[in-house]
Amino acid sequence: MKMALNNLLPTGYVYNLSVYLLASKGQPYNISYIKLNQLPISNANSVAIMNLPESVEVSYIYTTPNMKILLFQLQLSKVTSP
């Protein structure tokens, strides 16, 4: 995924992507988030990204063909020169 994001995003952007599996624990409304990427999918520190003046966070929910629910959280920011 990191290689794909590096190729898709223009230079001057930093990102951090987290992928979670959403799982129910017995009760229908008791959802747990299991982080799937143990290594960061990032080209910068996630705290630093959100502290930049032009930053955004996008969440995308995807249901796989075997009915697993994945949550993708992408933090993206444009790096500006001083």
Q: What is the pLDDT of residues 2-45, one digit of tens each?
A: 888 888 888 888 898 999 999 987 777 788 999 999 888 988 77
Per-residue confidence band for 64, with pLDDT thresholds at 50, 70 and 90: very high
Structure tokens at 1: 């995924």
The total number of structural domains in the chain stands at: 1
Residue 24 contacts residue 30 (beta carbons within 8 Å): yes
Residues spanned by the domain of 41: 2-78
Sign, CA torsion 38/43/48/54: negative
pLDDT greater than 60 at residue 82:
no
* pTM of structure: 0.79
Neighbours of 50 (CB within 10 A): 13
Predicted pLDDT at 81? 61
